[in-house]
Amino acid sequence: MLGESFFQARADLGTALFSLSTLAHDLRAPQETIRTLNELGTSLREPFLFVVAGEVKAGKSSLLNALFGREFCRVDVLPATDKIYVFKHADAERDVHVSPQLTECHRTSPVLRDFNIVDTPGTNTIVPEHEEITRQFLPLADLCLCVFSTANPWGASAWQFLQHLHKKWLKKVVFVLQQRDLRSAAEVETVLAHMRQTMLQKIGESCPIFAVSAKQAWEAKHTEDADARARLLHESGFDALENHIASSVTDGSARAEKLGSVCRSAQVIFSDFNRQTTSAAATLETDPLKLRELRAVLDERREQSMRQVGGMLWTIAQASERTQEQGEELLREKLTFAGTVKLMFGKRGLEKFFQTELENRQRETMTKILRESLELIEADMRSVWKQLHELMKHSFASHELPLLPDFAQQRTELLNKIDLALIERTQGAEFQRQMQRVFADTASWLRLPAGVFAAGGIGAVLAGALTKATLLDITGTIAGVGALAGTVVALAKRRKILAEYRRQMNEKREAMVRAIEDHLRHAVTRFYLELEQVFQPIEAFAEAQKKILEPSLAAVRDLDGKLARCAATIGGAKTPTAAGA
């Protein structure tokens, strides 16, 4: 087959272009890129153009039929037809009369997929209109076969036709001496020598010339025996002609350079897709790493917040202990002998005084400490939002990576949304709403002084202490003793009141600290859980995009090999950068 290696290379490149076009659609490449790929594919499929000229009965049609092994040109076309025939491939056979001098013959022959044939009238019957049309085809032609017959190789009209051709067009001319089987080998050599001499005299060029027999070549191409086919082709002279066409037209001509140009253009586009996909893949790998770094920062801040809660609890416990000591000192001052006796005999004015006085002191002290502690915790949490905002801007900042347009847009929109959420959370109203949400009833509970001690706190403690230490034990004792004994009993009961007060206050303080600790640690944990949820969309995006991108990465790896093989086969094309490099 003519130019078999060329057509194989072209087919391989066409397959690579198709894969590249599919990848372009998958990656949602710009329409301009897709249009360029379509144009490359179209140019790659452009058939070769052969122009055949020569006198009537020179054997032009027989030559073409034998050359391609298909009978698509009519043999013995009458000179009276006065037509130029252009043979093109089509799914159905039809003739289109373009003008009185030109007819397009659409044929189903597979050969015409790769070759368009212009069969001109005999040069001895050509008219000015024919000559003009022929000259229009010659600049576009890959090859011009000028056919002479061994029966009459001296036809002047063919030489006159050639003399009018532009010098650069003569570079495409190949002389064919047809019907060599009609003469002896010696006669053929004599004719060839004469033609070479005439060629230099008439046109000033030494063009390739081949003596062939279309009849023998046709028989050879329809012979099943391989040895007989090779022998007949050699005897017909067609093997030399076909080798010349393959080397000069397909393998070494502008068409081969065109393959190289298409291959290089495909490599440029592929390199862009390669950079974009590998960069996107790298981004999808690094984004989770960046998120892990952010989570490590969150873990450190969580521990810091928990330590701050611990410090706050210690401060509350110390403050509570001090107010307890103040209350105990006040009790000592008020529980004189007379005061104790009054309490023993049910005079409750002092009890009410203690309850009011101690509750007021406790409320004032604890309210201030709790408010200050909560403000410190909230300030710490607000600083966490700000710190994460700065880390997000630094970690996920755009470095002008050659990302895929659609991927880059989605990722940018997502990061902007997260960044906006971080900014909003640092603002006053939004932050307070979050604090109310994460603390739930804890914040309001901590801010209500009565919730700490006042709600049944000091009063209940004092009432319990007095009841347990006096009312339940004292009433029957005082009745039978004298003044001295009463004094001793009163002092003893005073100690019991103080001890019971101390015991119950210790229990209440420990219960209060545990309650505050439970609420605060729960609130801090919830705060950081909410904070982590802000970053979940980018993690989910990375996982989803990995699944979407994997087929494209596989296609890139496959294309890398295909284009490398095409470049090696065609030669002169730049080897593409390896996928993932």
- Is 406 a member of any domain? yes
User: What pLDDT is attached to residue 477?
Assistant: 39
Say whether both 169 and 318 belong to one domain.
no
User: What pLDDT is attached to residue 452?
Assistant: 42
Say whether both 230 and 311 belong to one domain.
no
Say whether both 339 and 473 belong to one domain.
yes
Strand order across the 115-119 sheet: 94-99, 102-107, 84-89, 115-119, 48-54, 143-149, 173-178, 209-211
Say whether both 525 and 434 belong to one domain.
yes
Give the number of other Cβ atoms within 10 Å of residue 79's Cβ.
Answer: 12
- Is 41 a member of any domain? no
User: What pLDDT is attached to residue 127?
Assistant: 52
- Is 172 a member of any domain? yes
- Is 258 a member of any domain? no
Say whether both 229 and 354 belong to one domain.
no
Say whether both 235 and 298 belong to one domain.
no
User: What pLDDT is attached to residue 445?
Assistant: 44
Say whether both 486 and 545 belong to one domain.
yes
- Is 173 a member of any domain? yes
Query: What sign has the CA pseudo-torsion 195, 201, 202, 205?
Result: positive
Q: What is the mean pLDDT of each run of 10 residues along the chain (581 residues)?
A: 75 91 89 90 83 80 83 54 79 87 85 83 57 67 85 71 69 87 89 87 85 90 87 89 77 70 91 89 85 87 88 84 79 63 52 65 74 78 79 70 64 71 59 56 44 44 51 39 49 73 79 80 82 82 86 92 89 44 34
User: What pLDDT is attached to residue 462?
Assistant: 53
Residue 394 and residue 125: Cα distance in Å, rounded? 82
- Is 4 a member of any domain? no
140 dihedral zone (left: phi>0; alpha: psi -120 to 50; beta): alpha
Say whether both 140 and 210 belong to one domain.
yes
Say whether both 229 and 330 belong to one domain.
no
Q: Do 72 and 87 meet the contact criterion of CB atoms below 8 Å apart?
A: yes
Q: Do 570 and 251 meet the contact criterion of CB atoms below 8 Å apart?
A: no
Say whether both 232 and 303 belong to one domain.
no
The total of structural domains in the chain comes to 2
Entry pTM: 0.60
Which residue has tokens 């001890």? 499
User: What pLDDT is attached to residue 211?
Assistant: 93
User: What pLDDT is attached to residue 559?
Assistant: 93
Residues of the domain holding 243: 46-252
- What integer best gives the mean pLDDT of the chain? 75
**CATH (domain of 91):** 3.40.50.300
- Locate the DSSP E strands across 296-411: none
Say whether both 469 and 419 belong to one domain.
yes
Q: Do 273 and 27 meet the contact criterion of CB atoms below 8 Å apart?
A: yes
